[in-house]
């Protein structure tokens, strides 16, 4: 059954492998020179490992996998998506193995609590585990973790989470059956949690949740005891283990994070506060349950920037209902812990998974890939109820059991069909953009991506039919509430590249949005794109309008390093204001001193101005960031531009 599920998953996903890049794929992969290595060396691998713009932790393992993909096949997305699919299939095998271990452990608690039997010719726990793994492999909510290339970060992190949980459960089972004190099992538990968490963190920070998942398994399945049956004395070694790997690190993390989170600057680029985020996430987490078990296309729209943020418990009223629903689920975990341990554990894992991304961190509100592990928890709770593998054939053939089995079969067909439809829609850029825009007609991002895709397909030919198609979704996106300046930037960029008239209304809208809100990542990317287009002499844009845009963006308190560096680029290369460009670049470095790109730009500017002593000082500062030789080629290139001795003429 597991082999069949793996084969069906591969076939269902295969059309989507020919699709294109999407959203955050561009800054992390397509536009990230760091991972685009031409040779394998310590310097190139170090540069690749530390190149991710997604996180301060850099996620080096995921970035190195991107570098490997580029080295083997360049920027053809097919190989990248195929690698993602292979990771997903491997995770499906791990889900099967983990589910079987958990089913067997729960079955060993007592005959009355058993969800399956694991003796005799038929391994019924294995059959139920195969159904859980097969359903998980084919869940539509997990599509983005496979076909959205950059979310390899999520699937790779959870590969180690699954391995760590397997090691922990196996270690605990060994402890319970070892007459020699269970020390070998304890070592396996400890090493599994520590090693798997450390390795997973190199792919994405979500792996930090592994110790929490393990303590939930311990509490519900093993009970912190030394032996079975339940009620034996507490094993204080396990309690000490979780103090070391969960409680102390969690307290340290909260002490580090919380002071910054209570500062207004942490939320300056968001259209929500910590309070409204917590209220909104209550609705979102409940929605995730619906989207996982009973998905319909418009729910799984990828873009969710049209979501209405909760401003209070009754605005909208569903906020209060969802808060109560989450409390009810948490209470159900406690109530069902002994009577239905798998249901309790599945719900606990689902809720626990969202404690990181669904609470106080100022992240985007909604992303489907956040359910990559959480969806396993839901299936662990639901599938054994719908496919009870009883020891008595008469019970298995009862009308109620047959109805449950039929319901599970219907869900498997629904999940397979939805995933197949999505993979087919993602088979090429146009069909993917049109599908996502149709699923989310009020999403500014979805409409922008559709217009942007049409622009790319037009090849900047005014006579192309795609050119005419691009205007409608872009102008719709620009007019939607809470949209960034991306649509206006795309319209201006397109007409400038095609030497067509640029409407003043586009510029006015762009500047008004920059004045109204502190620029976010998308707004900054828009200004970067316009600046590069001018600098590369592909766009002839009004200096007056560009200066208005920059001034509106920079008027907000504490502008970002990226915005300052972009303004410095524009001042230096377009306005020919060398002093202004130099000052803006220095401010960018002060804002983000660990970013070498800004220092490299500053050194080039100083050399061009003949300020060699300042350039040498800046060079020494750059060398402190040359971890593993990742900047050696840049430093050598800059050194060649400097005179060999102070006071000598420039080469």
In a domain? residue 502: yes
Helical spans, DSSP H, in 372-398: 374-386, 393-396
Helix pair 399-425, 429-439: axis angle to 10 deg: 120
Q: Are residues 154 and 285 in the same domain?
A: yes
In a domain? residue 519: yes
Q: What is the pLDDT of residue 388?
A: 64
Q: Are residues 545 and 491 in the same domain?
A: yes
Q: Is 5 exposed, middle or buried (0-12, 13-18, 19+ CB in 10 A)?
A: buried
> Following DSSP, what letter does each residue of 213-244 receive, concatenated?
HHHHHIIIIITTBSSSSTTSPB-HHHHHHHII
User: Total structural domains in the chain?
Assistant: 2
pLDDT band per the 50, 70, 90 thresholds, residue 111: very low
Q: pLDDT tens digits, residue range 311-362?
A: 999 999 999 999 999 999 999 999 999 899 999 999 999 999 999 999 999 9
Q: pLDDT tens digits, residue range 421-443?
A: 999 999 999 999 999 999 999 99
112 pLDDT more than 70: no
Distance CA 431, CA 433 (A): 6
Q: Are residues 136 and 248 in the same domain?
A: yes
Instruction: Specify whether the CB–CB gap between 137 and 166 falls below 8 A.
Output: no
In a domain? residue 596: no
In a domain? residue 595: no
In a domain? residue 617: no
Q: Are residues 220 and 141 in the same domain?
A: yes
Q: Are residues 407 and 520 in the same domain?
A: no
Q: What is the pLDDT of residue 266?
A: 83
| 154 token code pair | 């999520």
Residue among 140, 119, 521, 482 nearest 302 (CA) = 140
179 pLDDT more than 90: no
Mean pLDDT of the region 152-174: 96
Beta-bridge partners for 234: 225
- What's the mean per-residue pLDDT of the chain? 91
Residue 452: give the domain boundaries. 442-556
Instruction: Specify whether the CB–CB gap between 495 and 474 falls below 8 A.
Output: no
Domain boundary among 515, 535, 556: 556
- Mean pLDDT lowest among 16-30, 225-239, 509-523: 225-239
DSSP state of 296: -
Q: Are residues 346 and 485 in the same domain?
A: no
Distance CA 336, CA 115 (A): 13
Q: Would you say the C-alpha torsion 38, 40, 43, 49 has a positive or negative sign?
A: positive
Q: pLDDT tens digits, residue range 245-260?
A: 999 999 999 999 899 8
Q: pLDDT tens digits, residue range 514-566?
A: 999 999 888 999 999 999 999 999 999 999 999 999 999 999 988 999 999 99
Distance of CA 362 to the CA centre of its chain: 14
> Following DSSP, what letter does each residue of 35-52 receive, concatenated?
G--SS--HHHHHHHHT--
Residue among 110, 108, 112 nearest 177 (CA) = 108
Q: Are residues 374 and 295 in the same domain?
A: yes
Instruction: Specify whether the CB–CB gap between 449 and 436 falls below 8 A.
Output: yes
In a domain? residue 137: yes
In a domain? residue 587: no
- Count of beta carbons in the 10 Å neighbourhood of residue 233: 9
- Count of beta carbons in the 10 Å neighbourhood of residue 594: 12
Residue among 160, 178, 151, 257 nearest 214 (CA) = 160
Distance CA 468, CA 394 (A): 66
Q: Is 294 exposed, middle or buried (0-12, 13-18, 19+ CB in 10 A)?
A: exposed
Mean pLDDT of the region 302-314: 93
Mean pLDDT of the region 226-231: 56
Q: Are residues 408 and 447 in the same domain?
A: no
Instruction: Specify whether the CB–CB gap between 567 and 587 falls below 8 A.
Output: no
Q: Are residues 244 and 337 in the same domain?
A: yes
Q: Would you say the C-alpha torsion 194, 627, 64, 452 has a positive or negative sign?
A: positive
Mean pLDDT of the region 40-45: 90
CA 273 vs CA 269, 326, 364: distances in Å: 10, 21, 12
Q: What is the pLDDT of residue 575?
A: 94
Which distant-in-sequence residues (6+ apart) come within 8 Å of 505 by Cβ? Answer: none
Record the pTM. 0.89
Domain boundary among 556, 590, 624: 556
Q: What is the pLDDT of residue 649?
A: 45
Q: Are residues 320 and 223 in the same domain?
A: yes
CA 45 vs CA 32, 61, 110, 516: distances in Å: 14, 10, 52, 42
Distance CA 582, CA 507 (A): 27
- Mean pLDDT lowest among 269-273, 364-368, 621-625, 641-645: 641-645
What percent of the chain has a predicted confidence (pLDDT) above 90? 76
Q: What Rg do the C-alpha atoms of the chain give, in angstroms?
A: 27
| 43 token code pair | 């310097």
| 551 token code pair | 């001034």
293 pLDDT more than 80: yes
| 308 token code pair | 């209405």
Long-range CB contacts (within 8 A, 24+) of 580-586: 581/605, 582/606, 582/609
Q: Supply φ then ψ for residue 315, to 5 degrees.
A: -135, 90
Q: Are residues 371 and 455 in the same domain?
A: no
Distance CA 137, CA 450 (A): 29
Domain boundary among 391, 422, 453: 422
Q: What is the pLDDT of residue 125?
A: 87
Q: What is the pLDDT of residue 581?
A: 95
pLDDT band per the 50, 70, 90 thresholds, residue 268: confident
Separate counts of helices (H) and strands (E) for the chain: 30, 0
Q: What is the pLDDT of residue 211?
A: 97
pLDDT band per the 50, 70, 90 thresholds, residue 64: very high
In a domain? residue 145: yes
- Mean pLDDT lowest among 37-46, 389-398, 406-415, 440-449: 389-398
Mean pLDDT of the region 377-387: 93
Q: Are residues 414 and 446 in the same domain?
A: no
Q: What is the pLDDT of residue 53?
A: 86
Distance CA 562, CA 457 (A): 29
């Amino acid at each position: 059954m597991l082999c069949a599920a793996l084969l069906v998953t591969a076939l269902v996903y295969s059309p989507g492998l020919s699709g294109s890049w999407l959203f955050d794929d561009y800054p992390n992969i397509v536009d990230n020179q760091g991972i685009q290595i031409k040779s394998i060396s310590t310097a190139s691998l170090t540069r690749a490992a530390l190149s991710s713009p997604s996180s301060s932790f850099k996620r080096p393992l995921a970035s190195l996998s991107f570098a490997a993909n580029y080295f083997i096949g360049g920027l053809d997305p097919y190989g990248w998506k195929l690698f993602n699919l292979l990771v997903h299939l491997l995770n499906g095998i791990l889900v099967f193995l983990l589910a079987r271990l958990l089913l067997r452990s729960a079955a060993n608690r007592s005959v009355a609590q058993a969800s399956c039997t694991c003796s005799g010719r038929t391994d019924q726990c294995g059959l139920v585990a195969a159904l859980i793994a097969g359903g998980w492999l084919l869940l539509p909510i997990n599509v983005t973790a496979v076909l959205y290339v950059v979310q390899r970060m999520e699937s790779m992190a959870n590969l180690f989470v699954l391995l760590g949980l397997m090691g922990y459960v196996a270690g605990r089972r060994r402890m319970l059956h070892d007459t020699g004190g269970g020390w070998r099992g304890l070592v396996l538990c400890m090493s599994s949690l520590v090693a798997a968490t450390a390795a997973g963190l190199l792919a994405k920070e979500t792996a930090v949740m592994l110790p929490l998942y393990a303590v939930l398994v311990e509490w519900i399945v093993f009970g912190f005891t030394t032996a079975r049956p339940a009620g034996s004395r507490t094993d204080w070694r396990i309690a000490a283990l979780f103090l070391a790997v969960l409680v102390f690190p969690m307290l340290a993390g909260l002490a580090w994070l919380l002071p910054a989170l209570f500062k207004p600057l942490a939320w300056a680029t968001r259209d929500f506060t910590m309070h409204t985020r917590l209220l909104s996430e209550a609705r979102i987490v409940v929605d995730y349950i619906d989207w996982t078990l009973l998905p319909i296309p418009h729910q799984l729209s990828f873009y969710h920037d049209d979501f209405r943020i909760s401003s209070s418990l009754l605005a909208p009223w569903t906020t209060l209902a969802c808060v109560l629903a989450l409390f009810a689920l948490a209470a159900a975990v406690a109530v069902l812990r002994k009577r239905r341990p798998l249901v309790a554990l599945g719900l606990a894992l689902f809720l626990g998974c969202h404690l990181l991304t669904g609470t106080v961190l100022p992240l985007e509100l909604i992303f489907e890939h956040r359910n990559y592990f959480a969806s396993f928890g839901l299936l662990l709770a639901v599938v054994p109820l719908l496919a009870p593998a009883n020891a008595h054939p008469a019970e298995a053939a009862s009308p109620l059991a047959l109805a449950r089995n039929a319901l599970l079969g219907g869900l498997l067909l629904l999940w397979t069909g939805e995933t197949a439809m999505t993979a087919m829609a993602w088979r090429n850029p146009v069909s993917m953009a049109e599908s996502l825009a149709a699923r989310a007609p009020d999403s500014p991002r979805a409409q922008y991506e559709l217009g942007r895709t049409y622009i790319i397909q037009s090849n900047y030919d005014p006579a192309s039919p795609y050119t005419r198609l691009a205007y409608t979704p872009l102008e719709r996106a620009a007019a939607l509430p809470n949209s960034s300046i991306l649509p206006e930037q795309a319209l201006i960029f397109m007409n400038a590249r095609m030497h067509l008239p640029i409407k003043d209304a586009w510029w006015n809208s762009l500047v008004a949005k920059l004045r109204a809100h502190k620029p976010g990542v998308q707004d900054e990317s828009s200004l970067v794109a316009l600046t590069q287009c001018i600098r590369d002499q592909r766009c002839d844009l009004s200096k007056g309008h560009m200066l208005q845009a920059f001034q509106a963006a920079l008027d907000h308190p504490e502008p970002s390093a990226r915005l300052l560096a972009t303004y410095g680029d524009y001042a230096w290369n377009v306005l020919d204001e060398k002093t202004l460009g130099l000052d803006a670049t220095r401010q960018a470095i002060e804002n983000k001193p660990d970013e070498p790109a800004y220092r490299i730009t500053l050194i080039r500017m100083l050399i061009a101005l003949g300020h060699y002593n300042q350039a040498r000082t800046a060079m020494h500062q750059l060398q402190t960031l040359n971890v593993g030789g990742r900047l050696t080629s840049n430093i050598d290139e800059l050194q060649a531009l400097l005179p060999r001795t102070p006071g000598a003429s420039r080469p």
